[in-house]
Structure 1
Amino acid sequence: MTDQSERADERQVCTLIADPASRDLDLTGIQDVREALRAAGAEVSDHRWLSEHVAADLPYRGITPSAAGTAARKAVADRPLDTAAQPETGRRKAVLIADMDSTIVTGETLDEMSEAVGLKDKIAEITRRAMNGELNFEEALRERVGMLTGLKEADVKATLDRVALSKGAKTAIATLKRHGVTCALVSGGFTAIAEPVAEWCGFDRVVANRLIIEDGALTGEVAEPIVGKEAKLATLREMAGQRGVHESAVASIGDGANDLPMLLAAGLGVAYRAKPSVKAEARFALEHGDLTGLLYLQGYSDDEIAQVA
């Protein structure tokens, strides 16, 4: 059976996205992509702005999204633009599954916790290798938490003061919820951080690991089962079932190897400023745009996007 996402006879759309802070998308860039699509065999319609100088759609027919994506990437070359090609029908999703660390928030919160015990560099290196798929996630998590044995609960909570939301996070979640999307924060991090972050952004659900604390300090253990790649994928499938939709109607976003199964399962799986091994396999990627790029990928325009403080 032909993969519906790879049919050439249906109306498709190629989206170009720039960083909203720099607004680097101009008519020259759009024209270069249009010509590249035509050279690849596509019939291309006029572009439409989703956000002027930030995001635009180029509708086309006649070639597959894979062929269009390859042509668009070559056309933008080293310009600071993200490109994505997909069927126009069904591009707006009913469910979002989002990673937290280095996605919804700017850093790795476990690494931040370790600063209190002087092990940030050592633990950050283990995190980097685990997120790039070089280490087993569950084993690496147990190892890192074990190194934090005795860390005071107050120091864990104080980590929240150093947590910063990624640009566009609140806007993306507020917009999706306004349009009826169910949003879940599914993290290999910890509830002590994930639950407040979810509240800041307005997520409907939180799935994360739980640190075991006794007498006001970490025991060095994590409650089982650990939320790893299987749990993230299982949550995606569970929430699709609860909404009564196929996995193709789910969007997911993340940066690490433990996110890859859910990125590949979702209809719109976005590698966000991801580790090299993840970016190499994901169908969609945001390297230059902020998290509002998740909205432009689904065809939301400025007049549909929520304005948040």
Structure 2
Amino acid sequence: MTARPPEPDRPRIVFSDVDETLITVKSMFDFLHYQLVRRHGAAGEEEYERIMAVIRRRAADGTPREDINRFYYGHYAGESVDTVRRLADDWFTERTASTRGFYIDSTREALREHRAAGASLVLVSGSFPPLLEPLARELGADTVLCTRPLSADGVYTGEVATPVIGEGKRAAVLAHLASRPDVDPRDCHAYGDHVSDLPMLELVGHPVVVGDDAELRERLTRRSVTVAVR
């Protein structure tokens, strides 16, 4: 795909990963710790460490990120959707109470500039709606493409639809682009920090690497696109 400068009068979309691209934390794990400790104190801290030890071991063994994503959401089986949402709202309020430390300022400012210039902003993440929707409201994002835990009768089942990670991000972005035939992907931007964001970044004319993932940068620069690095 050959990049070209977006024309001001052409509609365009800016896709952005969230964890460690827009915010400094991994939202799923930060929230897991927050809600377990808030609800169960020291026992919650122990449960968090137990879960994270399993996740670290699986990651070291090469377990696909999509499977780790599913494992994570399995821990919400039986939880009230409304309770999780209220806890997520409290988490977001507390994390953003300080003026510094939660957002990656350069990314947030870039997304605000895109929005002010008329672009549609779309957040793309393996995280889930209770954590992402407050961010979307704060930034004026039009759409959130994310992993969506399944629920029945107001309770999470512990299962998810397709995790929006890696190829899941590609599929989600492609579906969104298909719903916007007025948008040329060559006019679009996408922001990501990890090589797992590559399937999304390579779909647009203006991929932006946030951070220092050398593998991501190298693999993008092999393609005939203009790569910005923040």
Tell me whether the two structures share a fold, i.e. TM-score over 0.5.
Answer: yes
1:141 and 2:56 matched: no
Q: Which residue of 1 aligns with 2:202?
A: 264
Q: Which amino acid aligns with 1:110?
A: M
Aligned pair 1:162/2:91, yes or no?
no
**Alignment partner for residue 121 of structure 2, among 183, 208, 233?**
183
How far off its partner does 1:96 sit? Answer: 0.7
In structure 2, relative to structure 1, the CA distance for the partners of 1:125 and 1:97 (3 Å cut) is: farther
CA contact (8 A) 1:109 1:159 kept: no
Normalised by the length of structure 2, the TM-score is 0.70
User: Partners in 2 of 1:162 and 1:205 — Cα distance?
Assistant: 22
Question: Unaligned regions of 5+ residues in structure 2, if any?
Answer: 37-43, 97-101, 222-226
Q: Show the 5 A alignment for 1:1-309.
A: 4=2, 89-90=4-5, 94-115=12-33, 116=36, 117-118=44-45, 119-120=47-48, 123=52, 126=55, 134-149=62-77, 153=84, 154-160=86-92, 161-162=94-95, 164-212=102-150, 218-219=156-157, 221-241=158-178, 242-273=180-211, 275-283=213-221, 284=227, 286=229, 289=230
SS in 1 for 2:161: coil
SS in 2 for 1:168: helix
Distance 1:191 1:236 in 2: 17
Q: Tell me: higher relative CO, structure 1 or 2? Use CA pairs within 8 A at least 6 residues apart.
A: 2
2:40 aligns with none
Shift of 1:264: 1.7
Q: Following the alignment from structure 2 to structure 1, what is the Cα–Cα distance between the partners of residues 131 and 171?
A: 22
Report which of the two structures shows the higher radius of gyration computed on alpha carbons: 1
SS of corresponding position for 2:126: strand
Please say if residues 70 and 163 of structure 2, whose CA atoms lie closer than 8 Å, have aligned partners that are also in contact. Answer: no
Cα distance in 2 between the residues matched to 1:4 and 1:210: 33
CA-based RMSD of the aligned residues comes to 3.4
Instruction: Describe the superposition over 1:182-226 as per-residue Cα deviations: whole angstroms up to 9, x where unpaired.
Output: 11111110000111101101111111122345788754x143133
Q: TM-score, normalized by length of structure 1?
A: 0.54
Equivalents in 2 of 1:203, 1:124: separation in Å?
34
Q: Which consecutive residues of structure 1, in runs of 5 or more, have no partner in the other structure?
A: 6-88, 290-309
- Find the residue that maps to 1:270 and give its secondary structure: strand
TM-superposed deviation, 1:238? 3.9
More helix by share: 2
Following the alignment from structure 1 to structure 2, what is the Cα–Cα distance between the partners of residues 110 and 96? 23
Aligned residues: 200
Change (3 A) 1:157 1:217: farther
Structure 1 residue 285, shift from structure 2 partner: 5.3
